[in-house]
Amino acid sequence: MVAGILKDIKIIGIICIFITATCIINVVATPNTTLTNIVQDIEKLGNRGTEYWALLVAVGVYADNPSQDRPLMLEEVDDLYETLIQSGIWTEDHIKVIKGKDATCSNIVAGFEWLDDQEDQDDFSIVFITTHGSPIDFDIPPFDEEDKKDEVLISYWGFEYPSLFIYDDQINRHLNNLESQGVCLIVDSCFAGGFNDPPYLIKTHNNLNQMSSEKFIKEFGGELSGQNRVVLMASREDELSYSGGFAPYVIDGLKGHADTNKDDIVTAEEVFVYCEPRCSRQHPTIFDGYPGELPLMYLNRQDINSENELQIVKENIRNYYPNISFSPENSFIKGFVKDANTDDPISNATIFVRGRDDEWDFFENYTSTDQFGFFSINVPACRCWVSVYTDGYCSDQSGFQEINESETYWLNFTLYPRPPENSIICGYIYDDETGDPIDGANISLLWLGDEYQFYFNDTNSEYDGFYLLNVAAGEIELEVEAVGYFRDELHEIFISDYETIWANFSLLSPPQEKSVICGYITDKISGDPINNIEIRFEWVDIVADISYQNETRTNSSGFYSLNIASGEVYHDIRNSNYDYYYPYRINAIENETNWMNVTLEEDTIEVEIVKPLRALYISNNRLIPFFRTRIIGSIDIEASIRGDFWGPSSAERVEFYVNGYLKETLTSEPYIFTWSDIKLGKQKIKVIAYDYEGNSDFDEIEVYKFL
């Protein structure tokens, strides 16, 4: 009896082990399967060797706050994912990406828990997070902040519900749970949220608390630095962190450009060294708690310059470029310029307009005021700045102006007389290589006074390289340019009344353009060549801190070609009809033709349902976020046409469908349909938008409606 029981126990034990092994390692039982085989397979699971895991989080969009959206975050996290996949040491099932509407607090926490479940002490892990960041004006337990303020990263719902954030102690706890032998946390936190935005504000306790990015970086990074851990932060001090200003250099570094010692291993420390001098508008920060250097990428160096080693097309193309057409200047900016003290009109003041038209091309125009101080200047439909300057007065500049087609826009200026120019700044301009004086160099001076007053002055160097400028007491900046040389500049020079300051300059000559970059630009869908596309290249020497730009346009065959210096090069393509974002480095190889073919996808209409979101709604009011959309009573269905940085766009018409039935068609904003039908259970809402060229796009969601 006992023997029979023991026999049954053995059989049960074998069956249990077999079932467990089958679930984990997906083996299939055969007549030859033995307990020894199964045990060996299980032992292999416990000895997997080193694996690489990654949690990639990009918020990028924020509920009911489209002005805070940063779509580049979403593109960059996709590019980082592709870079890791192409490395060969990461696989798709070892990377979790959480982005956009899915980047809620609960999903981000679940991502950390997934990472904790997967990795072990033999592994390496990367956590990448990009979103807005800020301090809050209270300390969350364990009350470890000397200034009683914690630091947070904003989730998808974070602007609507200030408590829905991820804070530093929370991330630290999740990282401390990891067993990995090395962890790299990369935080690309967009504090102010974009080009020339003011510092980002977050609502807390019904107050507006202005962010100090210096404190955020210091304390957030300090909290998260730990043993076997490297933390890379996008910026430091009291500065903004810009979209596209950090992550592209991280990705370039991981591709191999950061491998400075050429050992085919890219480490976290090397990525920082690569990024730091290239982030021109911000200053990355590193906290290094890893002994030695933390490896992130193993390379096949033959692949690093694959962008430049495209297939060479063996045919001769006639280098013909058509005439460039510009947007019509059928709008006006008009106004008066007067003396701020006397209110008298100022004649012969120069009015200078600079901006981008609706084709995203730069344009400039200028005029002068008449005897009444009046000016009128033609401009295209555009986004622009207007400056005014004249002798004897401080200059003035408008803020950003948006001018519509066939619009007359009035803009008046009042100028303050210049203060006495009783100080002197002078010096010599030399050739850096030969030491010879440079004759005819232009020295431009910017004077900065109180209350946003400023003015410009300039002069040219003499035959012996000498220059001299009279200037008022205050802060000044100098910029020196000469034909055949790189520009040089000095900032934050403070000069007192009756003081003389010497400032000498040695200018560098540009390198010889011994490389050629060329290729074809074609339409992604049709394959047709795209004519008259501007492509701009920037050559950079990080060590010498110099750069220059060169540009060209495609001809009727979609072909372009230009000469450029060998080395580190970046490019940009701007056209209002196409969407293109590639901020990554290419290498121009000396004495070679570097081919770079580009396919562009036409930028057509995009529509999004912005209400309802994943939340509970009662009588058209959102109560709380929810994992599914729940609606009680009637609700407004709202659609938005995605635009650009300047705001949403418009559509020829927008159609609203419920369960496949057309309910409403709207031809003007706002695109809002009130859904008052009494329904129970799951429903499908669909919105289709059409542009004026016949293109369309749709968005659809499932909701659960009650009444």
Q: What pLDDT, on a 0 to 100 scale, did the predictor assign at position 303?
A: 38
Angle, helices 168-176 vs 105-118, to 10°: value is: 20
pLDDT for 322 equals 38
Please say whether the beta carbons of 471 and 429 come within 8 A: no
26-35, 45-54, 91-100, 216-225: which range is least confident on average?
Answer: 26-35
pLDDT reading at 578 higher than 60: yes
* The overall pTM is greater than 0.75: no
pLDDT of residue 209: 35
Token couple for 600: 């562009």
Residue 200 and residue 196: Cα distance in Å, rounded? 11
Half-sphere exposure of 665 (CA within 13 A, CB side): 5
Task: Give residue 58's pLDDT.
Answer: 96
- Whether residue 379 contacts residue 330, with contact meaning beta carbons closer than 8 Å, is answered with no
In CATH terms, 515-602 corresponds, of 3.30.470.20, 2.60.40.1120, 1.20.120.80, 1.10.3720.10, to: 2.60.40.1120
Distance of alpha carbon 166 from alpha carbon 451, whole angstroms: 39
What's the 3-state SS for 158-198? Answer: CCCCCCCEEEHHHHHHHHHCCCCCEEEEEEEECCCCCCCCC
Convert the pLDDT of each residue in 178-235 to its tens digit. Answer: 999 999 999 887 442 222 222 223 333 333 333 344 454 455 555 554 568 888 888 7
In this prediction, residue 3 carries a pLDDT of 36
Mean pLDDT, range 7-32, rounded to an integer: 31
Total Cβ atoms within 10 A of residue 303 = 14
Sheet with 454-460, strands from edge to edge, namely 454-460, 442-448, 474-481, 488-495
CA 626, 628, 632, 636 dihedral sign is: positive
pLDDT of 8 higher than 50:
no
Q: Residue 200: its pLDDT value, please?
A: 29
Fold of 331-415: Immunoglobulin-like (2.60.40)
- Model pLDDT for residues 322-337, shown as the tens digit of each residue: 333 446 788 999 999 9
What integer pLDDT is reported at residue 11 of this predicted model?
A: 28
pLDDT on residue 236: 66
pLDDT of 301 higher than 80: no
**CATH topology agreement for domains 52-304 and 423-507:** no
- Closest Cα to residue 265, out of 292, 293, 307? 293
Residue 198: Cβ-neighbour burial (10 angstroms; 0-12, 13-18, 19+): exposed
CA angle in degrees (0–180, nearest 5) for 326-328-331: 135
Closest CA to 544 of 593, 580, 508: 508
Span 657-707, pLDDT tens digits? 999 999 999 999 999 999 999 999 999 999 999 998 888 999 999 999 998
Residue 670 has what pLDDT? 92
**Class of the CATH-defined domain 52-304:** alpha beta
**pLDDT at position 507:** 94
The CATH-assigned architecture of domain 607-706 is Sandwich (2.60)
DSSP for residue 530? -
**Mean pLDDT score across all residues of the chain:** 81
Say which CATH architecture domain 423-507 belongs to. Sandwich (2.60)
- For residues 257-277, give the mean pLDDT: 91
Query: Any residues with CB less than 8 A from the CB of 205 and at least 6 apart, and which?
Result: 137, 138
Domain limits of the chain? 2-45, 52-304, 331-415, 423-507, 515-602, 607-706
Q: How far apart are CA 188 and CA 175, in angstroms?
A: 17
